[in-house]
Amino acid sequence: MADSSRAGDPSAGDVPVDTRSVSEESDSSNEEGWEDVEPDEESQPVMSLFSEQVFPDVRSMLKDSKENYDFDLLKIQKDLGLDFLDTIKLVNYVRSQVKAGNKYPDVSSKSKFEDDAYLKPVLEDDALLYSLDDIAEDAQDAAPGSEAERKVIELQEELERLQSQFSEYRIAVQKSLEDQLSKEDETLGLNGTTSSEEIAANRASEIDADYFASYAYNGIHESMLKDTIRTDAYRDFVYENKHVFKDKVVLDVGCGTGILSMFCAKAGAKKVISVDNSNIIDRAREIVYDNGLGDVITCIRGKIEEVELPVDQVDIIISEWMGYGLLFEAMFDSVIYARDRYLAPNGLMVPSHATLRIAPYADPDFIASHISFWENVYGFKMNSMLLKIYDEAVVRGIHPNTIVGDSTVFLPLPLHTITVEELTFLKNFQVTLKEDIDALDGWAIWFDIFFMPSRDSDVPEDAIPSDMQKKGYVAFTTGPDGTETHWQQVVALIDYDKKKPCPLKKGDVIKGTIGYRKRSKESRGLDINIQWEGENTKGNQKWGLQ
């Protein structure tokens, strides 16, 4: 369903794709707010870099900055050899630092503000940004305008170069795809053009073909990329730790559309190897190329256990392997395999730590609308539909007020050392209720993720992401207290089997054990077992997550 355009459908070719995407690109750059704005001939009021004071023009503002804040923009520009974009970053960097309360931002080196994030204007319609060309002219009286003109010519040349590269690339991709398809047709004994989906379908004998196929759809990638909690965390860690990535060889396990690989490449990695066993790898390859990172990133299709990497060892493994309840899908096994096989002795895992949490759950509204519903459906009893509800754990976004006791960590996972065997476990836990409830409806499970910049950094077993963030580390939670992620939470509903559950009191302590077990070697499903006992509650139940 998703791949028709790549499969070379003739009707898709009727559409003038290139023209359109070029015009849209220029549209979107307009929205960026600074790029295409005409340099204003008239002098325009401009806000001081260091205070709320507004000056009639840029020159007087810069003069004030120099005299009162010891900040000489033109001199810094010259000393650090800043080009147009660098200067824009400098301005935004200074504005953001001042906004954050630092009146004397460190501008000793270009690296302080080299992050592309500083391309984004801090002030809306910042007149200073529009006037950078003018002040550059002022500075270079000798050759007025030449800098801007040279820039335009350079950009034009680069555009032409990229356009021709891109069309060559299109042809190359199409050709190699056709070759590949015809080869695969031969091996399958099929004639004519076979869509890649069908080839995938013919291979569906592999047990997990479905799993990899489902990842070829746009929808899933869109929901993952739009999960800002997830993607921001990876981006922040990579971009805030460029020194860690600089000149390193990075392996991205399960790269998807290649976003993490591109973060690493932008952060200065020498080489990034991106592996995925889904059709999406073809898209990733194209995206990487479109973003000019083809020299750094190598995309390889296949299972990490089977592919041949161009290197024996990597310095960093980055992966977004987390599934529902952390371990559903068992992709983590592949990450551990990659670590043991390829990671250098002092290499870094990104992320570096994870913790699994459990908490008591009570949600009378959910029980009423989803459980009681089956007791009378258009005049019929359908209670037997309920049996399954208690067999399968449910993935839902739950409200924080349904968590009726503090959560507790039942499994810390240090990614540098944990083994596959440790992913099947039985652990003790203990929780204390923080309010009176009519019934304990179930258990909620979620996980937290931590990104430490060195393999020696310690994360306490009961670390809380928001606390780690305050200490300057990157971390996020998938719990009900955080912004919702696409992982939501796992809810395991308790089956009271027609017996009425007892009300429980604030302060009641419940002790128990929780176990995770993979369904089978082939399956990506997971069995969760919880046994618990408290003052007025006791049980032992198993749920599947599939």
Partner 1 sequence: MSGSDSTPTGVISSSADRMVGMEHSEVRYFTSYDHHGIHEEMLKDDVRTRSYRDSIYQNRHIFKDKVVLDVGCGTGILSMFAARAGAKHVIGVDMSSIVEKAKEIVAVNGLSEKVTLLQGKMEEVQLPYPHVDIIISEWMGYFLLYESMLDTVLYARDTYLAPGGKIFPDKATMYVAAIEDGEYKDDKIGFWDNVWGFDYSPMKEIALTEPLVDTVEVKALVTDPCPIITFDLNTVTTADLAFKVPYEVTAKRSDFVHALIAWFDIEFSACHKPITFSTGPHARYTHWKQTVFYLRDVLTIEAGEKVSGYLENRPNDKNKRDLDITIDYKFEVMDENRFAEGSCFYRM
Which C-beta is closer to partner 1: that of 196 or that of 352? 196
Minimum Å gap between C-beta 464 and partner 1 is: 26
> Nearest-5° angle of CA 7, CA 8, CA 9?
100
Helices 146-188 & 280-290 angle (0-180, nearest 10): 160
Q: Which of 114, 329, 375, 461 is catalytic?
A: 329
543 Cβ partners below 8 Å, 6+ apart?
390, 391, 392, 393, 492, 527, 528, 529, 530
Nearer to partner 1, 210 or 340 (CB): 210
| Cβ-defined contacts of 426-430 (< 8 Å, 24+) | 426/513, 426/514, 426/515, 426/529, 427/513, 427/514, 427/515, 428/511, 428/512, 428/513, 429/358, 429/511, 429/512, 429/513, 429/514, 430/509, 430/510, 430/511, 430/512
- The dihedral formed by the CA atoms of 252, 257, 259 and 260, expressed in degrees to the nearest 10: -10
Contacts (Cβ under 8 Å, ≥6 apart) of 212: 277, 278, 279
| Shortest distance, position 151 Cβ to partner 1, whole Å | 21
Helix (H) or strand (E) holding 428: strand 425-432
Nearer to partner 1, 408 or 488 (CB): 488
> In angstroms, what is the minimal distance from the CB of 4 to partner 1?
4
**Least Å distance between CB 266 and partner 1?**
8
Nearer to partner 1, 6 or 248 (CB): 6
Smallest CA-to-CA distance from 120 within 140, 156, 96 is with: 96
Q: Alpha helix locations (H) across 274-385?
A: 280-290, 331-342, 364-366
Helix (H) / strand (E) containing 510: strand 509-518
Choice among 320, 461, 522, 535 that is catalytic:
320
Please state, in angstroms and as integers, the Cα–Cα distance from residue 504 to each residue in 59, 152, 419, 536, following that order. Answer: 71, 72, 38, 7
Catalytic residue list contains 329: yes
Structure tokens at 388: 């399954």
327: left (phi over 0), alpha (psi -120 to 50) or beta: alpha
For residues 393 and 504, which CB has a smaller minimum distance to partner 1 in the complex? Answer: 393
User: Which residue in the block uniquely carries the two structure tokens 């050899």?
Assistant: 81
Closer to partner 1 by Cβ: residue 151 or 170: 170
CB 129 to partner 1: min, Å: 18
Nearest approach, Cβ of residue 288 and partner 1 (Å): 9
- Residue placing its CB nearer to partner 1 in the complex, 20 or 538: 20
Q: Strands across the sheet with 271-276, in order?
A: 297-301, 271-276, 249-253, 314-319, 343-350
Angle at 397 between CA 395 and CA 403, to 5 degrees: 105
* Total residue length of the chain: 546
The distance of closest approach from Cβ of residue 195 to partner 1 in the complex, given in angstroms and rounded to an integer, is 6
Q: Taking the complex as a whole, how short is the minimal distance between the CB of residue 28 and partner 1, in angstroms?
A: 5
- In sequence order, which ranges of 317-408 are alpha helices (DSSP H)? 331-342, 364-366, 386-389
SS3 489: strand
**Alpha-carbon distances, residue 266 vs 239, 256, 262, 270 (angstroms):** 8, 17, 6, 10
Alpha helices by DSSP H, listed for 291-355, are: 331-342
CB of 211 to partner 1, least distance (A): 8
Structure tokens given for 30: 């307009």
Give min distance, CB of 204 to partner 1, in A. 6
Which residues are catalytically annotated? 320, 329
